[in-house]
């Protein structure tokens, strides 16, 4: 069935009419047209039915507990990032300071080497944990997209 209106009539007005957004003048114009044009009056009825069908549809939505998960995850991600940022800055500053003290300090070369290697070990450990956490965070975020 064709939806073409034979008259010189802007059919978009039918949607405006259905949604009740037309000026009084346009509403009157559509009413007059519908009295004489069965194509357009059919169309209005069809659009009305379709709107009823969509408006009364119900979709499955996630249970409430799934909602609570993410915002806190977002917040914890923020505090996670912030926490690590501050820790790294603090660590770099402390190590720098310690190395400076060590260099100009009165300790023997053996003592200097011992303290230096301890600092290196702690740095490496921190770095490995950080890399691991970052990797997990990355795969978490894109988990759903990758499948």
User: Residue 41 binds which one of Zn ion, other proteins, none, with CB within 5 to 8 A depending on kind?
Assistant: none
Query: Least distance (Å) from Zn ion to the CB of residue 24?
Result: 20
Q: Is 14 in the site for other proteins (CB under 8 A)?
A: yes
Nearest residue (CB) to other proteins, 6 versus 144: 144
Rounded Cα distance, 1 and 48, in Å: 18
Q: Which does 94 bind (CB under 5 to 8 A by kind): Zn ion, other proteins, none?
A: none
* Interface with Zn ion, residue 5, by CB under 5 A: yes
Which positions from 69 through 98 interact with Zn ion, judged by CB under 5 A?
none
Distances (CA, A) of 72 to 27, 31, 62, 86, 110: 51, 54, 17, 21, 49
Measured distance CA(41)–CA(44) in Å, rounded:
5
Q: Which 19-38 residues touch Zn ion, going by CB under 5 A?
A: 37
Closest approach, Cβ 18 to Zn ion, in A, equals 14
* Calpha distance 65→102 (Å, rounded): 54
Cα 59–Cα 63–Cα 66 angle in degrees, nearest 5 = 125
Taking CB under 8 A as the criterion, the residue among 5, 37, 47, 115 binding other proteins is 47
Assess 53 for contact with other proteins (CB under 8 A): yes
Q: Which is nearer to Zn ion, 39 or 112 (CB)?
A: 39
Q: Quick one: 102 exposed, middle or buried, by C-beta within 10 A (0-12, 13-18, 19+)? A: middle
Among 23, 36, 38, 110, binds other proteins (CB under 8 A): 23
Q: Indicate which of other proteins, Zn ion, none lies near residue 5 (CB less than 5 to 8 Å, by partner kind).
A: Zn ion
Look at residue 105 and give its three-state secondary structure: coil
């Amino acid at each position: 069935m064709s939806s073409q209106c034979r008259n010189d009539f802007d059919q978009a007005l039918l949607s405006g009419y259905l949604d009740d957004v037309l000026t009084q003048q346009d509403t009157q114009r559509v009413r007059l047209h519908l009295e004489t044009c069965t194509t357009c009056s059919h169309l209005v009825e069809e659009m009305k039915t379709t709107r009823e069908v969509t408006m009364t549809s119900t979709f499955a939505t996630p249970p409430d507990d799934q909602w609570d998960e993410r915002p806190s995850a977002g917040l914890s991600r923020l505090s996670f990032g912030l926490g690590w940022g501050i820790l790294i800055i603090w660590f770099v500053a402390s190590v720098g300071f310690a190395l400076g003290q060590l260099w100009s300090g009165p300790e023997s070369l053996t003592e200097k080497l011992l303290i230096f290697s301890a600092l290196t070990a702690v740095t490496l450990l921190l770095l490995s944990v950080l890399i691991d956490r970052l990797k997990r965070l990355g795969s978490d975020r894109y988990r759903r997209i990758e499948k």
